[in-house]
Structure 1
Amino acid sequence: MIKFFRKIRQNLLSEGKTEKYFKYAIGEIILVVIGILIALSINNHNNNRQQREIEQAYLLSLQSEFKTNLEKINNCLTENHNHVKAVEHMLTLFDDKVRDTISEKETSDIIYSVFKGVPTYIPSKGVLTDIISSGNLNLIQNEKLRQKIASFESTLDFLKIQEVSTHEMQKELQKQLNENGSVRKVLINKGFNFEHQSISDNASNKKIFGLIKFENTLLDFYLTISATNGQRFFGGIKDQIEQILIDLDSEIIK
């Protein structure tokens, strides 16, 4: 093709048709430019198509991951709600009239329900971390969705501070129980069998509910775990996840 155009130019020059030569040369340049622009357009179209395919793959993966995270946060909300109720039940034992009506086994059941563990939210972040660390977050066209995804990790960092505080308070409660009560007694009443007898076998854990310090620490713990289900922590994360899932669904091509 190049040889063909070159031959035409040479013929025009040899025939002395300089004006036609220049017109032809300009026309040839325009054709070349148009060809380049078409090639660039096709290349950009292919690149955009590839980026949209990658975006859709990320969106689908994020949707699956955040559905898992929604299930996890719902479980945490339920567990924490039950934990709050358990602490509320324990707080009633500081009333002599209530404490005198329950058995040692019931006391151990209440203590065990409070000390068995604090709900901890551990989200799935594999896809989220990959998108952010690889710099591919910009492949998601929806700017508001990008911002919500990017801010999700900072929300988790704030929750982690709350969880650390909750665990520290529970450790303090455990310390006071160890100093003034009998963990062995709780375990025995929960069905744990020890081979040998102990001086604490006949101990009563009811006495710890006569300690103001234990009550104050338990109240601090109660207020903290009650707040955990609020909008600043578990409740807010749940709302954030639900909104991200709505936005993901609107961006995914059906």
Structure 2
Amino acid sequence: MITLFRRFRQRLLTENKFSRYLIYAIGEIILVVIGILIALGINNNNNFNAQRKIEREYLTSLQSEFEINLQKINTSINVNEQRVQTLEKVLTLFNDNVLDTIRPQTISQLLGPILGSDIQYVPATGVLNDIISSGKLNLILNKNLRKDLASFESTINYLSTQLNDADFTQRKLTSLFFKNGSAKTIVMDLKMIDSELQSISAKTNNKDIFTSIEFENYLVDYYLLAKATNGPRLFSGIKSQIENILKEVEHELENTESY
């Protein structure tokens, strides 16, 4: 075919039919351009389909990761709500009329969870971090989803700062209790160690901690922090953000089924 075109072009030149040759040359150029455009179109289409395949793999992995995160945040909300309720009960013990009606074992049951556990939420972010750090977030076509995924990282960083404040206050509470109360009494009442073991703090009455103004102040601060943690800017907001991301991911997976 190429040889045929070449002979035809040479014949036109030898016959001095330059105008016809010019038209032919232009036509040949147009055919070449069309061929290039078709090739580019096929290549672009192949690249698009390949990128959509990768996008679908990312979306599937993100769906699994954020389903785990939803379970975790629900657990954190429930545990923290129980902590808030316990703190409310403990704060009433600074009233002597209430404190006199409480058994020592009940005080251990109330203080144990507060002093022995932190407010926490540790999401799974392996897939999200990989997508962002590799610079492939733009493979996800949905702009709103890209924005929500990027902002989730910022939300977790903000949460970490707030939980550090709560952790500091909780440690101060624990430190004050260790100076003025009996940790062994708590663990013995909670059946965590043998109650027959002798204790140098056996004569310490944990009710006495409720005469400490400093302990009450830190307890109030911790209560406010714990309550705020379940609020719309932290745990509740994170839950809504996760649910929205899952909804968008599911929608995008439906859109990429044809790829």
* TM-score above 0.5: yes
Distance in structure 1 (CA, Å) of the matches to 2:8 and 2:51: 43
* Contact 1:182–1:204 (CA under 8 A) maintained in structure 2: yes
Q: Would you say the 8 A contact 1:94–1:210 is kept in 2?
A: yes
Which residue does 2:223 correspond to in 1? Answer: 222
Q: Counterparts in 2 of 1:21-40, with a 5 A limit?
A: 21-40=21-40
| Counterpart residue number, 1:120 | 120
Corresponding letter in the other structure for 1:172: K
CA distance in 2, matches of 1:188, 1:244: 46
2:14 is equivalent to residue 14 of structure 1: yes
Q: What is the Cα deviation at residue 74 of structure 1?
A: 0.7
Question: Does the alignment pair 1:54 with 2:54?
Answer: yes
The Cα offsets for residues 92-143 of structure 1, whole Å up to 9 and x where unpaired, read as 2112222222222121111112112123111111111111111111111111
Unaligned 5+ runs, structure 1: none
Mapped partners of 2:134, 2:241: distance in 1: 23
Hey, what does 1:160 align to over in structure 2? 160
- The alpha carbon displacement at 1:217 in A equals 1.1
Per the TM alignment, residue 19 of structure 1 is displaced from its structure 2 partner at its CA by 2.8
Please report how far the alpha carbon of residue 195 of structure 1 lies from its aligned counterpart in structure 2 after TM superposition.
Answer: 7.5
Distance 1:212 1:26 in 2: 94
With normalisation by structure 2, the TM-score equals 0.93
Stretches of structure 2 that go unaligned for 5 or more consecutive residues are none
- Report how far residue 21 of structure 1 moved: 2.2
Equivalent position of 1:131 in the other structure:
131
The match for 2:98 is: 98
TM-score by length of 1: 0.95
In 2, distance between residues paired with 1:159 and 1:48?
Answer: 37
Q: Give me the identity figure in percent.
A: 50
Q: Counterparts of 2:229 and 2:16 in 1: how far apart (Å)?
A: 91
Report the Cα distance in structure 2 between the residues aligned to 1:118 and 1:196, rounded to whole angstroms. Answer: 28
2: distance between equivalents of 1:77 and 1:4?
79
3-state SS of paired residue (1:252):
helix
Matching of residue 240 in structure 1 with residue 249 in structure 2: no
C-alpha deviations, 1:11-31, integer Å up to 9, x for none?
Answer: 323344333222222211111
When the two chains are superposed, the root-mean-square deviation of aligned CA atoms in Å is 1.5
State the SS of the aligned residue for 2:98: helix
Deviates more, 1:22-31 or 1:195-204: 195-204
Secondary structure of the structure 1 residue equivalent to 2:43: helix
